[in-house]
Amino acid sequence: QVQLVESGGGLVQAGGSLNLSCRASRLTFSTYIMGWFRQAPGKEPNFLGAIDWRGTRSHYADSQKGRFTISRDNAKNTVYLQMNGLKADDAAVYSCAASRRTWDLLPTTYREYDYWGQGTQVTVSS
């Protein structure tokens, strides 16, 4: 079955950076749009951004533009989320997800994604 496994989370000081990774297996990775979400306890997953199959186009939620960058390496079946200038309210569980949809129908809600990782915790200390 399809697996998405995130790594790279942890504790970081406010203002610091983290680079999260998500490695896919049993998935034709290069044919999926990959997205990143975060979820606070008791809330729905919040869309952060997505990247197209080839890694040439990306889209970010307005609140994350300029701080977060998504990239991918199809040879490694891996998508990345570089986060800079972290703040206390960035603390959450961060998950990657894969969507079969096409870029012109840009998937920005969690319901539009077909496969999910289990997430990695990010904690920001002030």
CA dist., res. 11 & res. 58, Å (int): 27
Share above pLDDT 70 across residues of the chain, in percent, rounded to a whole number: 100
pLDDT category at 66 given cuts 50, 70, 90 is confident
In the predicted model, is pLDDT for residue 106 greater than 80?
yes
Distance of CA 68 to the CA centre of its chain: 10
CA dist., res. 118 & res. 36, Å (int): 12
At 30 the pLDDT is 96
In the predicted model, is pLDDT for residue 17 greater than 80?
yes
In the predicted model, is pLDDT for residue 112 greater than 80?
yes
pLDDT category at 5 given cuts 50, 70, 90 is very high
